[in-house]
Structure 1
Amino acid sequence: MGGLREMAAPFVALGPSGVAVRDRLKGLTAGDEEVLRLVGDHLGMLASRDLKERCAAGLEHDSERWAQRKRALTEESSSRWAGAVTKATHDQWALARRGQLAYVQSLEAGVRAIAHRLSLPVGEKGSRKAPGGYRSRREWFAKTRRLHVLEDRLAAVRADWQAGVVRVVRGGKRLLNSRHHLDTAQLTEEQWRARWRAGRRFLQADGESGKRFGNETVRVTPDGEVSLKLPAPLAHLANAPHGRYVLAARVSFAHRGEQWLDRVTANRAVAYRIHEDVQRGRWYLTASWTIPPVQTVPLAAARATGLVGVDTNADHLAAWRLDRHGNPVGQPRRFGYDLTGTTAHRDAQVRHALIRLLHWARRHGLSLAVEDLDFTAEKTREKHGRRKRFRSLISGMPVARLRARLVAMAAELGIAVVAVDPAYTSRWGAQHWQKPLTSSTRTTTRHDAAAVAIGRRALGHPVRRRTAPPPHDRSDRAGHRTVQAGPATPGREGHRPRIPGPRTRSVRAGRGANAVDQDAQHRSGHPAEHESWQQDSPPLSP
């Protein structure tokens, strides 16, 4: 047990800090769509120019340069549009910096792994904690070349990081690269250009509390009327006073509509984004706003009546209900999802599985216990070598998206989510719970047993099961205790209480001279009888 790493304590996950809802802009005229494209293309050009200036400034950027960029954009748009563009540029540059740092850390981990394996003799076996040497001289030589490649990449990326140089593509790097592989992407050049222009448009504006309906740039009234402030070069297209353009479409948010209506009625800030789905030929409006952090319940309250342990897998969620003592109750449940196909299909599958899980937990009034998974450093080929199927498996698991979805959806239903350390849950669950929970009418899988282990860890209990009593006619005739006392329980090492009733044919319980002294009774492990064959009693689980 000395080689095991220290476990992190369970904690109740915080709720979401923001909300986003979307509705389709139905009933747009051809003129409305043309105005939206013109405004989006014009602001997208300004956003690209501003992003270039921000990237060129690097680490030397300060508030004065930010003000200069905003003044330059105001001349060709408006002060509000300029503020929205500069803020979006700043967020995009910061996101690129975080991705760059993550890439540096990934390369460093790969270099360390390859250097370690190259230092070992060829064919040396690895252990559970560290990989061994490479299998052949051919593989060893190939990895030496890859080590040089990774070191060169690391040096270049580290130099960019220290200099503050980032590389950002407005519209998306993946869509940009697909321009050279139109046949593989099953796109024509016209279709690709339509997607490229739509991806580079800029039609979003942050809200401002105290202003009319919470946003002066893109305004949505309580009855669903949408209007936007036109940039100065396009002011001649206005169909409403003060240089505004009112769309013919009306919006009504089916989800969280009452919350949105409360905000716009009270003139509280709401951010809006308008975008076009080229594949479907539709326009959408997304509204978002921040909310105060949800007050989570104390950990003791989340554990009070038990909880549901959930094991996350590549194609399903395995769940089992546990009482507050850590005992499995009822039958295990499985909530499957299919992660093949488009991103929208995968996202819908995850949401459908989560809502079924949450509704089941709410019917029983229980909290959820999930693993605090993070595969950021687990997907590299240097760590897992030839295990391509395993690397593909963990790469396809939507851990981050599932965790964010679960926390947000659970907060809406008032369900607490307890996050636990994921170490050894699958291994110990299968070792201690898979076989005991399997019967002639129920086959317990490794994932079901892992769900029990997760739930017990969230409840503060050890994963290991309680020691089973001895069979009949051995020791106390199946009367051996199975509930272990805690380390701080007074008298835990004392004698067991006397149980009334016949114990042997000649002496009743508690009537003999050594009735209390277990070591002095006629037992198979008596030291006076079997001194040379004395066997220590099996340890009880804590």
Structure 2
Amino acid sequence: MGGLRELSAPFVALGPSGVAVRDRLKHLTIEDEKVLRLVGDLLGTLACRDLKARCAAGLDHDSERWAERKRMLTEESSSRWAGSITKATHDQWALARRGQLAHIQSLEAGVTTIAHRLSLPVGEKGTKKAPGGYGTRQEWFAKTRRLHLLTDRLDAARADREAGIVHVVRGGKRLLNNRHNLHAAKLTESEWRQRWQAERRFLQADGECGKRFGNETIRVTPDGEVFLKLPAPLAHLANAPHGRYVLTARVSFPHRGEQWRDRVTANRAVAYRIHEDTVRGRWYLTASWTIPPVKTVPLEAARANGLIGVDTNADHLAAWRLDAHGNPVGEPLRFGYDLSGTASHRDAQVRHTLIRLLHWARRHDLAIAVEDLDFTAEKTREKHGRRKRFRNLISGMPVSRLRARLVSMATELGITIIAVDPAYTSKWGAQHWQKPLTTKIRKTTRHDAAAVAIGRRALGYPIRRRTAPPRTRQSDGCGHRTVQARPDTPRREGNRPRIPGPRTRSVRAVCGENAVDQNAQHRWGRSTEHGFWQQDSLPLSL
């Protein structure tokens, strides 16, 4: 047990801090689309110029340079458009810095793993905690070359971070690299150019609390009418007073429409973003706003009536309901999903799976316990070597996406999510629960047993179950020993009461009265008698 790592305590997951809803801009005229493209292209050019200036400043950037950038953008647009552009640029630079740090940590893990494996003899087997040596001399030599390659990349990444240099592309690096291989991307040059221009446009505005309808730049009335404040060079295109352009399309936001309407009616801040889906040929409007942190339920109250333990897998969620004492109740359920296909299909599969799980939890008024998984350090090929199937398996698990959606959807339904430490849940669940829960008509899988282990850890109980004594030694109807008692139950480990008369055919009435006394048992390391004793010498006559 000394080699096991310390387990973190379960906690109630915090709810979402913001809301985003989207609606389609239907029935746009040709003039509307022309104006949207002109405004987006102009502001996108300004955003690219501002991002270049921000990256050039690096770590020397301060509030004075920020104000100077905003003044330069205001001359070519407006103060509010300039504020939105500079804020978006700063957020993009900060995101690139966080990604740079994650890349450095990944390179450091790869270099450490390769160096460790190279230091071992060829063919040496590894352990559960550390991989062994490489299988062949050829693989060992190839990894020495890769070590030098990763070391050079790591030195370059560290130098960039110390100098404040980030590598970021407006429109995305993936789409930029698709230009060099259009055949593999299944795109023509005109299709790629259309996507590239759409991704580099800038049509988003931050909300302002106290202003009319919560936004002065992109204004949406409670009736769904969309007003767009035109930049100074395009003010001649306005069809409404004060340099505004009114779109013919109206929005209603079917999802959370009442919440959005309440905010704009009260002039509370709402941010908007307009973007074009070139594949479908549609325009969309996204509204977003922040919400106050939801007051979480205390942990003891969340697990008072029991909960549902959920084990996350690559193609399904294994769930089992547990009562307040940590005992499995009913039958296990499996919620499957298919993560092949397009991103929209995968997202729909995750949402459909989670809503079925949440409806089950809501019917029984139970909390849900999940693992606090993080596969950031487990996906590297340096750790798992040639185990490509295992690497693909853990890479395909939608851990972060599923966790974020589960918390967000559960908050709307009033369901509490409890996160637990994922260490040893699958191993100990299979060891202690898979066989006892298997019957003639039910085959318990390893994932079902892991769900029980997750639920017990969330309830505060150890995963190990209390084993039953032999059948002839069970005093209360053959099975009372397996019932779980709470940790605060008084005298739960005390002696059994002495009941007059024989309780079984082969056990006397006095048996079991010293069950709690470990020294009274015939166990290894325990003396049967309490007093001092000394062995007599053997008689000489023998």
- Give the corresponding residue for 1:374: 374
**CA spacing shift, 1:476–1:244, aligned 2, 3 Å:** closer
**CA spacing shift, 1:473–1:277, aligned 2, 3 Å:** closer
Separation in 2, partners of 1:282, 1:187: 19
Q: State whether residues 369 and 455 of structure 2, in contact with CA within 8 Å, keep that contact through their aligned partners in structure 1.
A: yes
Q: State whether residues 120 and 133 of structure 2, in contact with CA within 8 Å, keep that contact through their aligned partners in structure 1.
A: yes
Residue by residue over 1:318-348, the C-alpha shift from the partner in whole angstroms, topping out at 9 and shown as x without a partner, is 1111101111111111111111111111111
Residue by residue over 1:270-311, the C-alpha shift from the partner in whole angstroms, topping out at 9 and shown as x without a partner, is 000000000100000000000001111000011000000001
Q: CA deviation at 1:481?
A: 3.3
Q: CA deviation at 1:493?
A: 6.1
**CA spacing shift, 1:523–1:371, aligned 2, 3 Å:** closer
Separation in 1, partners of 2:190, 2:202: 21
Residue by residue over 1:322-379, the C-alpha shift from the partner in whole angstroms, topping out at 9 and shown as x without a partner, is 1011111111111111111111111111011001100110001000000000011110
- Give the corresponding residue for 1:29: 29
Q: State whether residues 16 and 408 of structure 2, in contact with CA within 8 Å, keep that contact through their aligned partners in structure 1.
A: yes
Separation in 2, partners of 1:305, 1:439: 26
Q: CA deviation at 1:482?
A: 3.6
Specify the SS of the correspondent of 2:287. Answer: strand
Q: CA deviation at 1:500?
A: 3.6
- In the alignment, structure 1 residue 74 sits paired with structure 2 residue 74: yes
Specify the SS of the correspondent of 2:147. Answer: helix
- Give the corresponding residue for 2:19: 19
Separation in 2, partners of 1:241, 1:517: 92
**CA spacing shift, 1:474–1:524, aligned 2, 3 Å:** farther
Residue by residue over 1:497-532, the C-alpha shift from the partner in whole angstroms, topping out at 9 and shown as x without a partner, is 11243247899736xxx895679xx9999959xxxx
Specify the SS of the correspondent of 1:158. Answer: helix
Q: State whether residues 204 and 272 of structure 1, in contact with CA within 8 Å, keep that contact through their aligned partners in structure 2.
A: yes
Separation in 1, partners of 2:504, 2:248: 94
Residue by residue over 1:231-283, the C-alpha shift from the partner in whole angstroms, topping out at 9 and shown as x without a partner, is 00000000000000000000001000000000000000000000000010000
Q: State whether residues 207 and 270 of structure 2, in contact with CA within 8 Å, keep that contact through their aligned partners in structure 1.
A: yes
- Give the corresponding residue for 1:229: 229
- Give the corresponding residue for 1:255: 255
- Give the corresponding residue for 1:337: 337
Structure 1 segment 469-480 matched on structure 2, within 5 A: 469-472=469-472, 478=478
- Give the corresponding residue for 1:87: 87
Separation in 2, partners of 1:294, 1:199: 34
Specify the SS of the correspondent of 2:76. Answer: coil
- Give the corresponding residue for 1:534: none
Report the count of equivalent residues: 523
Q: State whether residues 471 and 477 of structure 1, in contact with CA within 8 Å, keep that contact through their aligned partners in structure 2.
A: no
- The amino acid that maps onto 2:469 is P
Separation in 2, partners of 1:507, 1:188: 86
CA RMSD of superposed structures (Å) = 2.2
- In the alignment, structure 1 residue 359 sits paired with structure 2 residue 345: no
Shifted more, 501-510 versus 153-162: the winner is 501-510
**CA spacing shift, 1:485–1:27, aligned 2, 3 Å:** closer
Q: CA deviation at 1:485?
A: 6.4
Separation in 1, partners of 2:251, 2:513: 80
**CA spacing shift, 1:515–1:211, aligned 2, 3 Å:** closer
Q: CA deviation at 1:65?
A: 0.3
Specify the SS of the correspondent of 1:437. Answer: coil
- Give the corresponding residue for 2:393: 393
Specify the SS of the correspondent of 2:333. Answer: strand
- Give the corresponding residue for 1:111: 111
- The amino acid that maps onto 1:108 is E
The two structures have a TM-score, normalised by structure 1, of: 0.93
Separation in 2, partners of 1:515, 1:436: 25
Q: CA deviation at 1:184?
A: 1.0
**CA spacing shift, 1:464–1:270, aligned 2, 3 Å:** same
Separation in 2, partners of 1:281, 1:515: 79
Q: CA deviation at 1:428?
A: 0.7
The two structures have a TM-score, normalised by structure 2, of: 0.93
- Give the corresponding residue for 1:539: none
- Give the corresponding residue for 1:275: 275
Separation in 2, partners of 1:481, 1:79: 74
Separation in 1, partners of 2:376, 2:506: 69
Q: State whether residues 495 and 512 of structure 2, in contact with CA within 8 Å, keep that contact through their aligned partners in structure 1.
A: no
- Give the corresponding residue for 2:123: 123
Shifted more, 176-185 versus 52-61: the winner is 176-185
**CA spacing shift, 1:218–1:485, aligned 2, 3 Å:** closer
**CA spacing shift, 1:371–1:112, aligned 2, 3 Å:** same
Separation in 2, partners of 1:349, 1:72: 46
Q: CA deviation at 1:496?
A: 2.2
Specify the SS of the correspondent of 2:419. Answer: strand
- Give the corresponding residue for 1:429: 429
Separation in 1, partners of 2:103, 2:405: 25
- In the alignment, structure 1 residue 204 sits paired with structure 2 residue 215: no
Separation in 2, partners of 1:25, 1:479: 65
Q: State whether residues 306 and 322 of structure 1, in contact with CA within 8 Å, keep that contact through their aligned partners in structure 2.
A: yes
Residue by residue over 1:149-192, the C-alpha shift from the partner in whole angstroms, topping out at 9 and shown as x without a partner, is 00000000000001000011100111111111111111110000
Separation in 1, partners of 2:168, 2:360: 44
Specify the SS of the correspondent of 2:179. Answer: helix
- Give the corresponding residue for 1:179: 179
Residue by residue over 1:66-89, the C-alpha shift from the partner in whole angstroms, topping out at 9 and shown as x without a partner, is 000000000000000000000000
- The amino acid that maps onto 2:388 is K
- Give the corresponding residue for 2:411: 411
Separation in 1, partners of 2:70, 2:502: 93
**CA spacing shift, 1:7–1:107, aligned 2, 3 Å:** same
- Give the corresponding residue for 1:537: none
Q: State whether residues 325 and 485 of structure 2, in contact with CA within 8 Å, keep that contact through their aligned partners in structure 1.
A: no
Shifted more, 32-41 versus 469-478: the winner is 469-478
**CA spacing shift, 1:260–1:516, aligned 2, 3 Å:** closer
Q: CA deviation at 1:137?
A: 1.2
**CA spacing shift, 1:361–1:6, aligned 2, 3 Å:** same
Question: What are structure 1's unaligned runs of at least 5 residues?
Answer: 529-542
Q: State whether residues 81 and 217 of structure 1, in contact with CA within 8 Å, keep that contact through their aligned partners in structure 2.
A: yes
- Give the corresponding residue for 1:443: 443
- Give the corresponding residue for 2:293: 293
Separation in 2, partners of 1:91, 1:506: 77
- The amino acid that maps onto 2:142 is A
Separation in 1, partners of 2:430, 2:214: 54
Separation in 2, partners of 1:494, 1:191: 77
Q: State whether residues 321 and 329 of structure 1, in contact with CA within 8 Å, keep that contact through their aligned partners in structure 2.
A: yes
Q: CA deviation at 1:438?
A: 1.1
Q: CA deviation at 1:495?
A: 3.2
**CA spacing shift, 1:506–1:168, aligned 2, 3 Å:** closer
- Give the corresponding residue for 2:496: 496
Q: CA deviation at 1:436?
A: 1.1
Q: State whether residues 426 and 450 of structure 1, in contact with CA within 8 Å, keep that contact through their aligned partners in structure 2.
A: yes
- Give the corresponding residue for 2:325: 325
Specify the SS of the correspondent of 1:246. Answer: strand
Separation in 2, partners of 1:389, 1:47: 42
- Give the corresponding residue for 1:59: 59
Q: State whether residues 319 and 451 of structure 2, in contact with CA within 8 Å, keep that contact through their aligned partners in structure 1.
A: yes
Specify the SS of the correspondent of 1:286. Answer: strand
Separation in 2, partners of 1:507, 1:27: 86
Percent pairwise identity: 81
Specify the SS of the correspondent of 1:333. Answer: strand
Specify the SS of the correspondent of 1:193. Answer: helix
Separation in 1, partners of 2:317, 2:507: 56
